[in-house]
């Protein structure tokens, strides 16, 4: 892809996890990637990794929960690189399991402010650029937790809200040829998840077994799905939430069917999944 054809892709939360994997996938495909993150250390490291692999990238500091910071990011990208062709709203945080009576309201608000409101602010800041050039792609990162109840009382609702925002914006921006989609990951082996595994808050065996493929999703798996949704091959696709979950959604009820008695017939060498 030559310079004239090179797309400009902004990836929030690009310094780690799904954002890092997506930034590297897009850069490998030939896009110029703006790695936007609240951590300069992590973001600059990803830029170095992209450049070492022959790609092109730049870092921009941003706190997606801060309105002036998000607006400044959009203005900086437009002034320094040109109109953003792709926006990937990957900035987000997880939440540990806790009942409502012991979940601090500050934790609830922080999850909502980053996961939902942060994505909303980025859409609001970058959509006008795309509308002006009458093309663009916005990709939100939701979660299978948006569809199934889980004991994370802010995380799931934040992702469900983002899923509905995706549909609303797809219709709102569609007449100007701006497509808005989401990817819906299952359990992804990110740095945040690994930290929770190491701390004993997550069981990696259970995370793997609760899927059709018997493994966890890798950040690059999500990045590849995003690359497809931003391609011409997906030009008629907008307003969807594409599961990238190693088959978690179909497996979650199948594997708990009473007739299986707690053991999958093709996984007799593994621990029961129910």
Q: Which residues are catalytic?
A: 155
Q: CB neighbours (10 Å) of residue 181?
A: 24
Q: Which residues lie below 8 Å from residue 125, measured CB to CB, with a gap of 6+?
A: 70, 71, 73, 74
Kind of pairing, strands 178-185 and 241-244? parallel
């Amino acid at each position: 892809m030559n310079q004239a054809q090179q797309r400009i892709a902004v990836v929030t939360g690009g310094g780690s996890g799904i954002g890092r994997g997506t930034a590297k996938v897009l850069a490998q495909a030939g896009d110029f990637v703006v790695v936007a993150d609240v951590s300069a250390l992590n973001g600059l490291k990803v830029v170095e990794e992209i450049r070492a692999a022959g790609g092109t990238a730049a870092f921009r500091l941003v706190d997606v929960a801060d309105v002036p910071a998000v607006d400044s990011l959009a203005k900086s990208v437009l002034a320094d690189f040109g109109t953003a062709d792709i926006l990937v709203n990957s900035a987000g945080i997880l939440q540990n399991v806790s009942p409502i009576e012991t979940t601090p309201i500050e934790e609830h608000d922080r999850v909502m402010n980053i996961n939902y409101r942060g994505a909303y602010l980025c859409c609001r800041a970058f959509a006008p650029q795309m509308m002006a050039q009458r093309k663009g792609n916005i990709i939100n990162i939701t979660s299978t937790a948006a569809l199934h109840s889980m004991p994370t009382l802010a995380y799931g609702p934040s992702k469900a809200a983002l899923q509905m925002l995706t549909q609303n914006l797809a219709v709102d921006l569609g007449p100007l040829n701006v497509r808005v989609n989401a990817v819906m990951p299952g359990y992804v082996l990110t740095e945040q998840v690994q930290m929770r595994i190491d701390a004993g808050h997550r069981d990696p065996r259970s995370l793997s077994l609760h899927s059709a493929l018997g493994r966890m999703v890798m950040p690059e798996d999500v990045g590849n799905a995003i690359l497809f949704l931003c391609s011409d091959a997906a030009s008629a696709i907008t307003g969807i939430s594409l599961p990238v979950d190693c088959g978690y959604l179909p497996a979650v009820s199948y594997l708990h069917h009473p007739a299986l008695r707690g053991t999958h017939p093709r996984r007799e060498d593994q621990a029961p999944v129910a």
